[in-house]
Amino acid sequence: MQKLVIYNHGKDSIPWGEKTLQFADVAKHYGYAFESPDYREQLDPDKRAGQLLAMDLSGYDEIVLIGSSMGAYVATVASASIKPKGLFLLAPAFYLPGYRQTEFKPTAEEIRVFHGWRDDIVPPENAWRFCQSYRVRLNLYDTDHRMLSVMPQLSDEFSRFLAGLKGQAI
C-alpha cells in the first residue's frame, strides 16, 4: 500500500521549513512518502489549489493533506477532489478577503484543526466558524499564527492522527 502525506505551506512560507521537516519525520515513521509542493511563485490561493490538483497522485492508495494558513485553505479546497484519508489543518486561512471560497466541502475520513489564540493574521473565530459549520474538532493553543512555539505538541498530535488513521493506539 502506497501512502503519501502532502504538506501545503502558507503564503509567505517555504516548502521545506521547520514545520515541514518535523511533520515529514512523523509521516516517515508511519510509512508515508512525503511531498511539499513549492507554491512561492503563486500568490492566488485558488491557483495554488489547482497546482495541488495537478499533481499525479495515481500511485497512492492513501493520501493525507496537511495545510498551514493559506496552505490549509488549499488543502481543504482540494480535498473535495482528492478525497484524502486525513486533513490536518494549522491556522487555516478561511473567510479572508481575496479567498474565493467561503463554503467548503471538506472531504476526508478524519479532519483536525489547530489554531493559536494569539493569531493576528487569521482570527481564531474563523477556525471556530469552520469547525462549527462542518462539525470538526478544533484545538486551540496559546500561540501566534506561525505556531512554532507549539511544534512539539503539534508533532505529537500529528503522530496520534496518523496512528488513528491506521486504527492504532499510541
What pLDDT, on the 0 to 100 scale, is given for residue 170?
45
Beta strands in the chain (DSSP E): 3-8, 33-35, 62-68, 86-90, 110-116, 137-141
Q: pLDDT in tens for each of the 170 residues of the chain?
A: 899 999 999 999 999 999 999 999 999 999 999 999 999 999 999 999 999 999 999 999 999 999 999 999 999 999 999 999 999 999 999 999 989 999 999 999 999 999 999 999 999 999 999 999 999 999 999 999 999 999 999 999 999 999 999 765 44
Q: According to DSSP H, which parts of 83-123 are helical?
A: none
Global confidence as pTM: 0.96
Residue from 66, 72, 65 nearest 94 by CA: 72
Length of the chain: 170
Distance of CA 105 to the CA centre of its chain: 15
Q: Are 34 and 64 in contact (CB under 8 A)?
A: no
Exposed, middle or buried, 128 (CB in 10 Å: 0-12/13-18/19+)? middle
Q: Where exactly are the structural domains of the chain?
A: 3-165
What pLDDT, on the 0 to 100 scale, is given for residue 166?
74
For residue 31, give the C-alpha cell.
510509512
What pLDDT, on the 0 to 100 scale, is given for residue 167?
65
Fold of 3-165: Rossmann fold (3.40.50)
End-to-end CA distance of the chain: give it in Å, rounded. Answer: 21
